Amino acid sequence: MLNKTLHISTSPHIVKGNSTQVIMKNVVYALIPAALFSVFTFGLSALLVLGTAVASCLITEYALCKVSGRKVTTSDYSAVITGLLLGMTLPPAFPLWMVACGGFIAIGLGKFVFGGLGYNVFNPALVGRAVLQAAFPVAITTWTDALSADRFTSIPSSVLALPFMEPVYDITSGATPLSAFKFDHHITPSFDLAFGMIGGSLGETSSFLILAGGVYLMVRKMANWKITASILTSVIVLSGALHLFNAELYPSPLFMLFSGGLMLGACFMATDMVGSPLTTKGIIVYGAFIGILVVVIRIWGGLPEGVMYAILLGNALSPQLDQWLKPRVYGTSKKKKS
């Protein structure tokens, strides 16, 4: 006869769980395919930009932890993720000293000032990117050709520009797909957008690989699929309605989905567990708010891209959404929430 023992204990009754380090490590795994494809697309300059972004974030976090007397947290992979995401929001010929400045700002201002991992209000990588866009508007909107023949044998001179010196660009490409639509009313084919046959920031090279990495995290329950689904659905609905109203003036939903940094933002930035709401209703409103704002900025705003601003504003709204959309406590009236 088989003897079985019943163990009785107090809560929490957790059989197993993923630590912060495990979750962050898997986010890095999910980003690697898209990062490698950006290196394939732009060559050595992309590798240097990504490497500098990650290194500057790690060095900044280590130094700030040492100076403040806190436990060094470079081993939890959060700084690596911030560096990868920051690097993927930058153009391939971006000067490395500017990249390093962005890494310092992302960790110092976007994360450390608020108390470190778990306390940041805004996505740190987007904080770094926002400051870089304000400080270096020309450099951050100067693009180079994708899939150039000499991308693995030469490095653009702008990448190695000396600190505080104006970078000199050897060759610049035309407008990105969003800029071409915004200012020239030219629509890039959806296939090229989805599979990376375009110029732009490193994170715009392959929406398909970025989405695949996001799905991997969602299947592993390390990212909230409702946020991504809410963002993409709102983009599809609003852009689809505008396209049906006037197809010549407004682009199709496929163009809106696969252009710019929408996939990177929806899968890896807006899903930041700290900066996003906790309540189910809050999550849906948060995602819809970001998606609608992206379309509004792209169509009617002064800039061709609006993902960064939409997510930062969504981060700012997130705590209020949790307050406004609290679930009803079981046993209480729907009219009065305790």
Count of structural domains within the chain = 2
Domain identity same for 92 and 199: no
Q: Which residue has the higher pLDDT, 202 or 332?
A: 202
Q: Which residue has the higher pLDDT, 93 or 331?
A: 93
Q: What is the pLDDT of residue 134?
A: 93
Domain identity same for 84 and 198: no
Q: What is the pLDDT of residue 100?
A: 97
Domain identity same for 159 and 200: no
Domain identity same for 134 and 181: no
Q: Give the angle 296-300-305 at the CA atoms, nearest 5°.
A: 65
Looking at the predicted structure, is the pLDDT value of residue 332 above 80?
no
Domain identity same for 143 and 192: no
Looking at the predicted structure, is the pLDDT value of residue 336 above 60?
no
Looking at the predicted structure, is the pLDDT value of residue 4 above 90?
no
Mean local confidence (pLDDT), 253-277: 92
Q: Which residue has the higher pLDDT, 4 or 47?
A: 47
Mean local confidence (pLDDT), 103-127: 92
Mean local confidence (pLDDT), 157-172: 83
Cis peptide before 304 (omega within 30 of 0): no
Domain identity same for 149 and 206: no
Structural domain harbouring 107: 19-173
Q: Is residue 8 a part of any domain in this protein? A: no
How far apart, in whole angstroms, are the C-alpha atoms of residue 333 and residue 291?
Answer: 33
Chain segment 27-83, per-residue pLDDT in tens: 999 999 999 999 999 999 999 999 999 999 999 999 999 998 888 889 899 999 999
Q: Which residues contact 78 (CB under 8 A, 6 or more apart)?
A: 20, 24, 111, 117
Q: What is the pLDDT of residue 331?
A: 65
Looking at the predicted structure, is the pLDDT value of residue 13 above 60?
no
Instruction: Count Cβ atoms within 10 A of the Cβ of residue 177 and give its class: 0-12 exposed, 13-18 middle, 19 or more buried.
Output: buried
Helices (H), 43-109: 44-68, 78-88, 96-107
Chain segment 173-224, per-residue pLDDT in tens: 666 788 877 777 777 777 777 776 677 889 887 888 999 999 999 999 999 9
How far apart, in whole angstroms, are the C-alpha atoms of residue 90 and residue 93?
Answer: 8
Domain identity same for 124 and 256: no
Q: What is the pLDDT of residue 173?
A: 65
Domain identity same for 303 and 180: yes
Q: What is the pLDDT of residue 92?
A: 92
Q: What is the pLDDT of residue 270?
A: 95
Report the percent of the chain where pLDDT is more than 70: 89
Interhelix angle for 96-107 vs 124-135, to 10°? 130
Q: How confident is the model at residue 14 (pLDDT cuts 50, 70, 90)?
A: low
Q: Which residue has the higher pLDDT, 130 or 20?
A: 130
Mean local confidence (pLDDT), 248-258: 91
How far apart, in whole angstroms, are the C-alpha atoms of residue 292 and residue 120?
Answer: 24
Mean local confidence (pLDDT), 149-163: 90
Question: Nearest Cα to 121, choosing from 13, 304, 276, 267?
Answer: 276
Q: How confident is the model at residue 9 (pLDDT cuts 50, 70, 90)?
A: low
Domain identity same for 153 and 271: no
Domain boundary among the residues 138, 173, 208 is at 173
Q: How confident is the model at residue 8 (pLDDT cuts 50, 70, 90)?
A: low
Interhelix angle for 78-88 vs 44-68, to 10°? 140
- Write the DSSP symbol of residue 223: S
Name the one residue in this structure whose structure tokens are 């993409």: 232
Looking at the predicted structure, is the pLDDT value of residue 275 above 70?
yes
